[in-house]
Amino acid sequence: MNLIVISRPEFFDGETAIVNDLFAHGMPRLHLRKPQASYSEMESWIAQITPAFRPLIVVHDHHELAQYYQLGGIHLNSRHPEPPAWVEEERCLRPFTVSRSCHSLGELTADTPHSPLDYLFLSPIFDSISKPDYSSAFSCEELMTAKTSGLLSSRVYALGGVTFDLLPQVQHLGFYGAAILGDFWNRIEKGGTSAVYNKLSMNAEVSSASYTEERKFF
């Protein structure tokens, strides 16, 4: 099961040290999502990440930081629905992904006009852990139909309420991978980073290099 970790939306003490440690123990990719953070706050955070690990980070905001700090990609959302003009040139120079959030099955088949998407988040699949009152938006029947049609298998990650214990169910539903947030950081808060080391080693099957090798353009 391909795994992506999403950061907590707020900063917390020792966060960058924890992230460096997680990368050293096999975390395959981190989506840095801090929607309320300023450019300078994000830049200061990224500067504390070991340069060798920066290509494993994807930013949801302040996309220009991905170019300046040689990050692994950008993520599109309602705040930033289109990629910056420089993205295509960046993709010619080095491994660089463009991904997007989707909240309906219909959105999965729509690419951006100027920059094909490498992978997508579909949410919420389960009741959210980090967002109260954010309940699953899809029935099991809808997801199984999408699986049968092959809609989920090539580049779609399940998001929303995903836990390590639910990964077998995510795989059964036919998703390419899973994006995890609440359960991941809750485990670290209770047991430290060692609480997820074995989970990372079991589930981190895709390296940053494979995002380039297996890139699928639609």
For 59-74, the pLDDT digits (tens) are 999 999 999 999 999 9
> Residues 6 or more apart from 83 whose CB is under 8 A from it?
63, 74, 76, 98, 112, 114, 115
Q: Report the pLDDT value the prediction gives residue 208, as an integer from 0 to 100.
A: 37
Q: Residue 94 belongs to what domain range? A: 2-213
Using the Cα atoms of residue 76, residue 80, residue 81 and residue 87 in order, give the sign of their dihedral. negative
Q: Tokens at residue 22, please?
A: 């997680």
Q: What is the CATH number of the domain that holds 81?
A: 3.20.20.70
Alpha carbon dihedral 164, 168, 173, 176, in 10-degree steps, equals: 70
Q: 157: exposed, middle or buried (C-beta count within 10 Å: 0-12, 13-18, 19+)? A: buried
> What was the pLDDT predicted at 133?
73
The whole-number pLDDT of residue 217 equals: 31
Q: pLDDT tens, 99-154?
A: 999 999 999 987 666 678 999 999 999 988 777 777 899 999 999 999 999 999 88
pLDDT at 116: 84
Supply the pLDDT for residue 210: 39
* Spatial contact of 118 and 98, defined as CB atoms under 8 Å apart: yes
Phi, psi of 22 (to 5 degrees): -65, -40
pLDDT of residue 27: 94
218: in domain: no
pLDDT given for residue 153 in this prediction: 80
Token pair of 112, please?
Answer: 């951006």
Alpha-carbon distances of 48 from 13, 15, 51, 58, 98, rounded to whole Å: 13, 10, 9, 15, 23
- The rounded distance, in Å, linking the Cα atoms of 73 and 215 is 13
pLDDT tens digits, 156-206: 999 999 999 999 999 999 999 999 999 999 999 999 888 898 887 666 443
| Of 60, 58, 52, nearest in space to 24 by CA | 52
- What's the pTM? 0.89
Give residue 50's pLDDT: 98
pLDDT the model gives residue 212: 40
The domain tally of the chain equals 1
115 lies in some domain: yes
Q: Is residue 8 part of a domain?
A: yes
Residue 99 in any domain: the answer is yes
* 91 belongs to a structural domain: yes
Within-domain flag for 161:
yes
Domain-embedded: residue 196: yes
pLDDT (average), residues 29-57: 98
Does residue 113 lie in a domain region? yes
